[in-house]
Amino acid sequence: MTDTPAVLFVCVHNAGRSQMAAAFLQDRGAHRVDVFSAGSEPADRINPIAVEAMLEEGIDLRAAVPAILTTDAVRAADVVITMGCGDACPVFPGKRYEDWELDDPAGRPLDEVRVIRDEIRRRVEALAESLGV
């Protein structure tokens, strides 16, 4: 791992879970970690309920745009966190992989998305501790 670890969060649509996780880690790690997110089948836009849930935490995802998962993105990451992307995520030796089983916030009401958001925050905090950021 480099001096500044690179973390890639991946979910199917890159419109909820991975965007929230990336935003939490970026907020916590600032310049001590490089944070990226992508989706195996990106949506056209970020889930508006996820945006609303993150605004409650003081994090603004309104300008975020879903991105396609590329092999280069995985290759560049030290840590790859998957959230339901299954076999779509390429695997390279020497990288740290974690699969976070989290409900997809798509189509869920705000009260359910808050629960998902809070679980993501908890996991991101543990990840940040393990990376020393």
User: Which residues are part of the catalytic machinery?
Assistant: 11, 85, 89
Secondary structure (3-state) at 51: helix
Closest of 4, 5, 1, 7 to residue 97, by C-alpha? 7
Closest of 80, 62, 63 to residue 71, by C-alpha? 80
- The 79-83 sheet, strands edge to edge: 34-39, 6-11, 79-83, 96-99
Residues in Cβ contact with 11 at an 8 Å cutoff, skipping those fewer than 6 apart: 17, 18, 37, 39, 40, 82, 83, 84, 85, 104
